[in-house]
Amino acid sequence: MEQAASIVPEHEQGGDFNDILSASDKRGGAKDSEKKRDVFRERIESCNLMDLGSSAHRYTWRGPIYQGGVGIYERLDRAMSNDIWRLQFPNASVKVLTRMEFSDHHPILISLKDENNTREAKRFHLRVLGFLRRITTLG
């Protein structure tokens, strides 16, 4: 993530970061580390990224379910961008989809909505699980 700011002028990054930003990003289990959250937040800020937020499910990861049905839930997966990307895609949104039975993570969907309805292709870079892919979308 440290190289995010130098990859392209407009940048979006999404995936499993295995860290949480706030205590409200976790329910159940042992208390999380405030210091670890601060380090994660500082790394995001040093890359000039902002969390894009999300809709639908609050948590993106489900840990083990203990006796009595008590489980651990965390928001580990998220999408972030720099301000240039956000200005280029002001109507973009992030939705947490329904978790598939074979995974402990909910997938996230990043939708680009261009209110100008132009048919001109727009390009952006998406970094997912360590791979940089160039994606062309229609506005």
Asked if 92 and 109 touch (Cβ cutoff 8 Å), the reply is no
pLDDT computed for residue 126 by the predictor: 47
The residue range of the domain holding 48 is 4-138
Token digits of residue 128: 């997912």
How many domains are there within the chain? Answer: 1
61-112 pLDDT, tens digit each: 999 888 777 899 999 999 999 999 999 999 999 999 999 988 999 999 999 9
Beta bridge partners of 16: 77
Alpha-carbon dihedral angle through residues 86, 9, 111, 60, given to the nearest 10 degrees: -90
This model's pTM is above 0.85: no
pLDDT of residue 2: 52
Would you state the pLDDT for residue 73? 95
